[in-house]
Structure 1
């Protein structure tokens, strides 16, 4: 029977959902610093980075061990003129 094949599957056989693009604040800061961005100023948990050659500033907020939301991460990469990871 066609349905019997799917009924016998256990829940553990289903692969977990991957959170693609998820990074910690610390990892984002390390990636920016690797590209040449430096910490210009801070206020609370907001860190603003500048680059000697690129225009603008990039703000990264949050504690170092907190996940950055995917939309925020895309905006950080766009502002830093980096490829999305």
Structure 2
């Protein structure tokens, strides 16, 4: 699942982060959450680990808004492909 689905979907968000956000990484949401297109959102608690702090965030995940993408947009890499409960800073 990592190779076929998750990693390819993370390339664009990662490149966006790599271009300018490494100076101030935070688990805070980088922008307004996308509107769910599938109608099946659910909350997911994720512990985000960086050198400076541990921070728990609550993501709204669904099939059209994967947790992995949301975490990479925040500068964190998920420790599981679908429903991670831990992420580490990039």
TM-score class, shorter: under 0.3
Q: Which has the higher contact order (CA 8 A, sep 6+)?
A: 2
Computing the radius of gyration over CA atoms, which structure comes out larger, 1 or 2? 1
Normalised to the residue count of structure 2, the TM-score between the two structures is 0.26
